[in-house]
Amino acid sequence: MTTRMFAALVAATATTFAYGLQAHAQGAPRQTQRVGSAAPRIPRTPDGQPDIQGLWNSIDAFFTPLERPGQLADKSNVSDEELSDVLRQEAQKKIDGALTAGVGSYGREWYEYREGNISARPSLVVDPPDGRIPALTPWAKEKAAYVRGHATDSYDFLDPGDRCVTRGILGMMLPTFYNNGKQIVQSPGYVSIVSEMIHDIRVIPLDGRRHLGTAVRSWTGDSRGRWDGNSLVVETTNFAPRDVLRGIRLQSESLKMTERFTLVDRDTLMYRATIDDPKVYTKPWTIEFPFKRDNHYQMFEYACHEGNHAVEGILRGARAGERRNR
């Protein structure tokens, strides 16, 4: 993260947050706590909360499929060998697809994944038990079909991630080909999460304040956090309806997301998120995967808009195609 980004983060938060940053920068000692002889040592902040500050990376979860692969859909018992074969096939599809995808594809040198680092888990989705995202509601099916049929009518139907606006909460948390770095900063009353991809910054209050009124909405909603043991629990509401948002097929005003950031040990932060949007999905669903501490990672300012002619090219191409077909 650049000095400019960090200065903007500090300026956007309360005085206590700035004070907390200063105290951390001056080297306030981390405390540790051991609960029982077998419990891992959990670092603590000066005010006693689990210390989840630092740089985290989810690239090791990149080859875990979002949903359970279709080859395993109806199998309750799968051997380790069969699971490994299927996951390797899925990993290769992801690599091949990215390198031949057209708009948005890059050379292999852009990517951060390690090809030999194949997951042992069949999906990021852990609930429902079948590892599949639940079916869309009738309303959502109709809406999705409309969007597919009008995808190039306007920039408003394009993914805001391609427009360099935001990837949404789930989009910024899910592992992807590159720029998976997250920087977490804590102070009394706040936790801030900076995502390198499209430089999204979430400032999460922990002081028990109520959510904003329902008239105030945004693509990433209104987040409120609290500590539950070694877990930071974040509940987000007040989402703006979106037809296309990376990570979830549709997003309605009824969406509620509940995230848990659990410090398993000093170097592992387990992320779990439940998506509950009854207007879009027939039932809630949950994903889970680990972030690993990465002190060698360096956050850079993500220059998304600079040189980004994709949206203009997509829309110009669509208009040219319409003229040709008249």
Residue 32 lies in a domain: no
For the stretch 29-40, pLDDT in tens is: 444 444 444 567
Range of the domain at 215: 3-26+41-71+78-324
- Token readout for 214 is 């329902």
Q: Percent helix, strand and coil across the chain, each rounded to 5?
A: 25, 25, 50
Task: Give the Cα separation of 55 and 179 in Å (integer).
Answer: 12
pLDDT value of residue 38 = 58
Q: Is residue 34 part of a domain?
A: no
Q: pLDDT value at position 21?
A: 36
Strands 268-276, 42-44: pairing is unpaired
C-alpha span between 197 and 221 (Å, rounded): 18
> Is residue 110 assigned to a domain?
yes
Contact 113, 78 (CB under 8 A): no
Q: 3-class DSSP state for residue 262?
A: strand
> Side chain identity at 52, as an amino acid letter?
I
According to the model, what pLDDT value does residue 131 have? 92
Output 103 or 137, whichever has higher pLDDT: 137
The answer to whether position 222 is within a domain reads: yes
pLDDT bracket for residue 324 (50, 70, 90): very high
**Tokens at 59, concatenated:** 């690239």
pLDDT at residue 214 tops 90: yes
The whole-number pLDDT of residue 137 equals 96
Cβ neighbours around 68 below 10 Å, total:
22
Q: Is residue 33 part of a domain?
A: no
Q: Which amino acid is at 244?
A: V
Residue 36 lies in a domain: no
Task: Check if the beta carbon of residue 219 is closer than 8 Å to that of residue 165.
Answer: yes
**pLDDT class for 301, splitting at 50, 70, 90?**
confident
Question: Per the structure block, which two tokens stand in for 42?
Answer: 């959990």
Confidence of residue 1 (pLDDT cuts 50, 70, 90): very low
The residue written with tokens 């951060």 in the block is 112
Distances (CA, A) of 174 to 27, 63, 241, 263: 31, 11, 20, 18
Residue 278 has a pLDDT of 96
Q: What pTM does this model have?
A: 0.82
| Structural domain total, the chain | 1
Signed CA dihedral, 94, 96, 101, 106: sign only: positive
**pLDDT single digits (tens) 51-105:** 999 999 998 888 888 998 887 877 767 777 888 888 888 888 877 766 665 544 5
